[in-house]
Structure 1
Amino acid sequence: MNRPNRLKRFWKILGPGLITGASDDDPSGIATYSQAGAAYGLSTLWTSIVAFPLMAAIQQMCAKIGLVTSQGLTGTLKTNYPKPILYLMLLFSFPAIIMNIGADIAGMGAVGNLLFPAIDASFFSVFFTILLLGLIIYLPYVKIAAVLKYLCIVMLVYFIVPFLYKQDFVAIAKATFIPTIKFDKDFIAILVGILGTTISPYLFFWQASVEVEEMKNKKRHLMVNKKIIHEMQQDVDFGMSFSGFVMYFIILTTGTVLYKAGIHQIDTVEQAAAALKPLAGNFAYLLFATGVIGTGLIAIPVLSGSISYIITETFGWEQGLDKKFHEAKAFYIVIAISLLLGLSLNYIGISPVKALIYTAILYGLTAPVLIAIILHISNNKAVMGNFTNSRLANILGFIALFIMTLAGGALLYLQFVG
């Protein structure tokens, strides 16, 4: 088989895993990585290497649950676990995801205003909200998946930006492979923030549900086999490595350009983009800003879709991006409400930075519990049959559980005691 055909076949395999990975680097994630780079230079570069196998392991488990059970994570929880656990997840997930959507919409609006200063940021926020709502409601799943997949290409801009500035490659290699840990409150808070925005609970729900959509679309729901599982693993591995590289290059960009220029306090994505302009040039600034809007267009459908899957599966309502509006009204109404609530955060006095802190706290509390449940489901033969976890998957899963529990505890300590 020649190279173009192999690449075409590999591109065809890519889908939910790639989209999930790309959505993980949403505008609020970019703000967190930019804070890390500006405040601590290259000191947190190593986190992308550590996070990758943990992200990939958990997302593969979620994807496999969807493929094997033909249900989303919520449906599987509802079928196999006590109802209070399900309602607890709903209680924590809903406000966290809404605040994440709000922070992302605000970030996109602010960056739109940076690119076109004559137009107010709030206009861009409203415009992007309406645009996304229209696309989600009117496009069938196949088209939405294709649009999101091609939008991922926009994120390649972050691979270019650091090389528009002179780099010290020895220092970069050292920071990448030799972890730096500073035992002070702010540095630990940044590490916790990076973990919280990287291993996010909404991605668990999205991954499982969208794999079911993909199976329905390919009419494969009766024939899960090792080949399909292997293709899913390739997709998730590529998506998570793509996400890790984007994270790495954002920290690298801000950790060299901004940190070396003495700009150590970055609270929002538009501040990061604006600060790059005089230091790295117009081209770097434009690429960075365009990337923020591109990631928002990928992440917000994933965020709103995940909350809609959670709620509609909880209450047994018709759901699915492959359905038309009249076939799954509740599903699309929940998406619309989540987008409008997210947009409204910009007008009721909750700043995007505070929304990010609250989101991180809720994710930090929810993630360890969810990872424990995912591990339990993934090792349950009654649910997973012959597709239970391998030893390596369990080792990585339990490391993720330990680290996220530690991160959640540290986050609470820093927020309320430290």
Structure 2
Amino acid sequence: MKRFFAIALGILTAIGGFVDIGDIVANAEAGARFGLAHAWVLVVGVVGICVYAEMAGRVSAVSGRPVFDLVRERLGPRVALANLAGSLLVTVLTLGAEIGGVGLALQLATSVHYLLWVPVVAFVLWAALWRVKFSLLENVFGLTGLVLVVFAIAYFRLPADGAELLHQATHPGPPSGEDWGTYWFMAVALFASALTPYEVFFFSSGAVEERWTSRDLLTSRINVFVGFPLGGLLAFTLMLTSATVFHPLDMSVDSLSQVAMPAAIALGKLGLAAAILGFFAATFGAAMETGLSTGYTVAQYFGWNWGKLRKPRDAARFHTVVMIGILAGVAVLFTSIDPIQLTEYTLVFSAVALPLTYLPILVVANDRGYLGDRINGRLANGLGTVYLIVVLVAALAAIPLMIVTRMGGG
């Protein structure tokens, strides 16, 4: 049982990264419009985040310090400031989208407009991050997010054309009615969602919060190689059920209620209730991750006390930044921008910021001064280099594709 709960950090990080509000709708939209033609992107994304999360967890476990702290020390304040600026902007926008996503889940459950829920969600989020222990947060929301397995169960209750779905997955490309520009825009967005910068900063800082040492490297790897593939699998089930229900009808998906339909069709009210609970847990978990990550990155850059391992009064500036991040996210939502649309823009900005995040991690993970003989091996460096090239291509392509396709609208 202790080993089971030890992977809760990885589960929370993975569900928050792979199944936040944008990913929930993006995967369902990809399934509806393209079938399983983007399934390969999820595989590429899972492998990529596993490669860099393993580095981040190992760096923190061996050095006892979070990655962002070492990036500033190893590469200097200017490089770290560029990293901070890019990741903080993306993280705060994502935080706003996640708060809105929780509001949308509550709207689906209560029929009360999501904007009326936003102040309540923001207050509960702030209170939880201020007072509740880190281990309780990761266990409750990480494990509750697993309720999204309802979509895997739903698939086996739906009338599916397995041969056609397999053909879509093994023959990637746009179906009739779609073009290559839109196909690649969706691919870049899904890839960026898998490697969102806050994921590695949260995972690395969480390792310090959990007081991991070199003796916990096995725990770190279990978190990475169980948690992240599990998050990717849950994201795939959203794409799969959407491809099963909507793609044959040439229907699109652009709301949370539509995403839940396959579970409701297959399992009735119980399936719908489980889907709503899963949406709530995943989006609130992602809101916690992004909220804490705003405080982690800023506090670590300036050398302040940080984290939930300290009493709030001993890390007051860290908690102040978290509160400001939450308020900024709420302010963005009160412009009346749709949370799903906000996340779509955030994924584009995330793709652009990815090189600023992952190159420094690769550098630090090869520094013997921090890791001794625990530095990257040939496999980690080989995969890390390949993914840096992929990340750079995605960063260069994101904005041109956004403009040409009008945010994937064709």
TM-fit CA distance, 1:88: 0.9
TM-fit CA distance, 1:205: 0.8
d(CA) in 1 for partners of 2:261 and 2:103? Answer: 14
In structure 2, list runs of 5 or more residues that go unmatched: 406-410
TM-fit CA distance, 1:247: 1.1
TM-fit CA distance, 1:281: 4.6
Given the alignment of the two structures, is residue 154 of structure 1 paired with residue 147 of structure 2, yes or no?
yes
Count of aligned pairs: 400
Corresponding residue of 1:77: 71
Amino acid at match of 2:240: L
Amino acid at match of 1:231: T
Given that 1:257 and 1:280 are in contact with CA atoms closer than 8 Å, whether structure 2 keeps it comes out as no
Corresponding residue of 1:109: 103
d(CA) in 2 for partners of 1:163 and 1:345? Answer: 40
d(CA) in 2 for partners of 1:295 and 1:274? Answer: 18
Q: Which of the residues 227, 237, 253 maps onto 2:225?
A: 237
Corresponding residue of 2:238: 250
Q: How does 1:49-88 map to 2 (within 5 A)?
A: 49-88=43-82
Amino acid at match of 2:221: Q
Given that 2:189 and 2:348 are in contact with CA atoms closer than 8 Å, whether structure 1 keeps it comes out as no
Amino acid at match of 2:355: P
Task: State the superposition RMSD in angstroms.
Answer: 2.1
Given that 1:73 and 1:205 are in contact with CA atoms closer than 8 Å, whether structure 2 keeps it comes out as yes
The answer to which of 301-310 and 153-162 deviates more is 153-162
TM-fit CA distance, 1:262: 2.6
TM-fit CA distance, 1:34: 1.4
d(CA) in 1 for partners of 2:267 and 2:400? Answer: 38
Cα distance per residue 1:209-235 (max 9 Å; x no partner)? 1111111xxxx54xx24xx21221112
TM-score by length of structure 1 reads 0.89
Corresponding residue of 2:88: 94
Given that 1:107 and 1:270 are in contact with CA atoms closer than 8 Å, whether structure 2 keeps it comes out as no
Q: Which of the residues 305, 309, 313 maps onto 1:318?
A: 305
Q: Which of the residues 161, 167, 184 maps onto 1:188?
A: 184
Corresponding residue SS for 1:143: helix
Corresponding residue SS for 1:125: helix
Q: Which of the residues 327, 334, 352 maps onto 1:347?
A: 334
Corresponding residue of 1:36: 30
Corresponding residue SS for 1:375: helix
Q: How does 1:16-415 map to 2 (within 5 A)?
A: 16-24=9-17, 25-117=19-111, 119-176=112-169, 178-182=170-174, 184-215=180-211, 221=213, 224-225=214-215, 228-264=216-252, 266-273=253-260, 281-415=268-402
d(CA) in 2 for partners of 1:249 and 1:333? Answer: 38
The answer to which of 319-328 and 277-286 deviates more is 277-286
TM-fit CA distance, 1:158: 3.0
Give the percent of matched residue pairs that are identical in Structure 1 and Structure 2.
21
d(CA) in 1 for partners of 2:206 and 2:386? Answer: 26
Amino acid at match of 1:207: F
In structure 1, list runs of 5 or more residues that go unmatched: 1-7
TM-fit CA distance, 1:148: 3.0
Given that 2:145 and 2:279 are in contact with CA atoms closer than 8 Å, whether structure 1 keeps it comes out as no
TM-fit CA distance, 1:282: 4.0
TM-score by length of structure 2 reads 0.91
